[in-house]
């Protein structure tokens, strides 16, 4: 993963999170506002969610470049999209929604077809995509936007066939175990053979159970590194054999070294935007309670006017 040409200055960004849960299991949301028009160039770090980015920015909008394939505006990003960079110039707003793959299957169709790629939202929702953007732009607060987004997502599953309960259970157990699970044990839990679980899981989610476990474990390691935990401790806590093993996995999933991943802009404000997923930062005598991203403005609730 190549480094960004212009690092993103998060101190020029407002972050909004819902005051209350969206009421949709497996869905997390965060809103972002670029207060001062500036160049945006940020590389995505893989995480165990299907990501919906609704572009509400001014001007030409965001460009999502995945290995030379570019999509502009609102997009859906599948699991393991590879080398993906978000670029743009200007200001405005962006709503990011992260969905568990089983939820994404109901909202967008089979996530297996989304794995490893980026698809324009209009290609999946047709004219409904434009209508959704218009409603979100017209909203008077971030809380109103979160409510609209929850309504839109909640309406979609009626016509979609969900993933097998056994596949959904396997995914949830993988998350709960932070990736430190054995496929044989998961297969036994759902009453399937290893081969059947492997086949159905891959057909419905687009990655194998083993790869999913590796992604979930990597995600935990990435968040710990970004929170300032030392690589040796991260390797031990996440179940890697040693630091070399951690290094190889970080390189495989992110194309970076652990040291570079620890300062990746995509992860820099995870504890603000995605607090439920983020570990505590280790206490440091020279830093006290001072956040490494001091100046980032965070808000929640319907009082946040647009």
What is this structure's pTM?
Answer: 0.88
- The three-class DSSP label of residue 44 is coil
What are the chain's domains? Answer: 10-162 (2.60.120), 165-287 (1.10.10.60)
78 and 132 Cβ atoms separated by less than 8 Å: no
Q: How far apart are the first and last CA of the chain?
A: 35
Q: In the chain, count of helices (H) and strands (E)? A: 12, 9
Phi-psi region of 70 (alpha: psi -120 to 50; beta: other; left: phi over 0): beta
Residue pLDDT tens, the chain, 306 long:
444 445 567 888 899 999 876 678 889 999 999 887 778 888 899 999 999 999 998 777 788 887 777 888 999 999 998 888 888 876 789 999 999 998 898 888 766 788 888 999 999 999 999 999 999 999 999 999 999 999 999 887 655 567 899 999 999 999 999 999 999 999 999 999 999 999 999 999 999 999 999 999 999 999 999 999 999 999 999 999 999 999 999 999 999 999 999 999 999 888 899 887 777 666 554 544 444 454 555 554 443 445
Round to whole Å and give the CA distance between 119 and 122: 8
């Amino acid at each position: 993963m190549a480094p960004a040409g212009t690092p993103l200055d998060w101190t020029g960004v407002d972050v909004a999170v819902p005051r209350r849960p969206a009421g949709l299991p497996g869905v997390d949301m965060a809103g972002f506002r670029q207060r001062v028009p500036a160049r945006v160039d940020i590389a995505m770090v893989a995480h165990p969610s299907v990501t919906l980015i609704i572009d509400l920015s001014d001007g030409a909008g965001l460009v999502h470049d995945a290995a030379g394939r570019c999509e502009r505006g609102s997009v859906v990003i599948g699991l393991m999209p590879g080398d993906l960079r978000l670029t743009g110039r200007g200001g405005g707003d962006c709503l990011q929604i992260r969905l568990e793959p089983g939820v994404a299957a109901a909202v967008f169709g089979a996530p297996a077809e989304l794995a490893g790629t980026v698809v324009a939202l209009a290609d999946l929702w047709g004219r409904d995509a434009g209508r959704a953007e218009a409603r979100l732009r017209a909203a008077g607060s971030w809380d109103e936007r979160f409510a609209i987004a929850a309504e839109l997502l909640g309406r979609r599953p009626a016509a979609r066939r969900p993933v097998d309960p056994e596949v959904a259970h396997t995914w949830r157990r993988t998350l709960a175990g932070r990736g430190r699970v054995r496929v044989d044990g998961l297969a036994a839990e759902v009453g399937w053979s290893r081969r059947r679980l492997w086949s159905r899981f891959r057909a419905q989610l687009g990655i194998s159970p083993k790869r999913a476990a590796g992604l979930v474990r990597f995600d935990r390691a990435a968040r710990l590194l970004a929170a300032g935990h030392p690589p040796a401790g991260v390797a031990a806590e996440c179940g890697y054999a040693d630091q070399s093993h951690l290094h190889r996995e970080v390189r495989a999933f992110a194309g970076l070294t652990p040291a570079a991943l620890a300062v990746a802009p995509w992860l820099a404000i995870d504890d603000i935007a995605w607090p439920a997923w983020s570990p505590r930062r280790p206490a440091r005598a020279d830093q006290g309670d001072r956040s490494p991203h001091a100046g980032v403005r965070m808000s929640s609730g319907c009082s946040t006017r647009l």
